[in-house]
Amino acid sequence: MRNLLVGNINGQLEQRGLLAPLDHGERRALGLGR
């Protein structure tokens, strides 16, 4: 279950990184720091 969640979050972050490059706050909130 954890792997699915992490994979889903990573996928969403990649899409958001392309669509909304200014959205660094959410990445930090998730603790990825990318």
* Tens of pLDDT, residues 1-34: 567 777 777 777 666 656 555 566 776 776 655 5
Tokens of 9: 């979050």
Tokens of 29: 């909130």
Identity at 14, one-letter amino acid code: E
Dist. CA 30–CA 24, nearest whole Å: 10
Tokens of 6: 């992490």
**Model confidence pTM above 0.85:** no
Quote the pLDDT of residue 12: 72
Domain count of the fold of the chain: 1
Length of the chain: 34
Contact 23, 2 (CB under 8 A): no
For residue 4, give its domain range.
Answer: 1-34
Quote the pLDDT of residue 1: 56
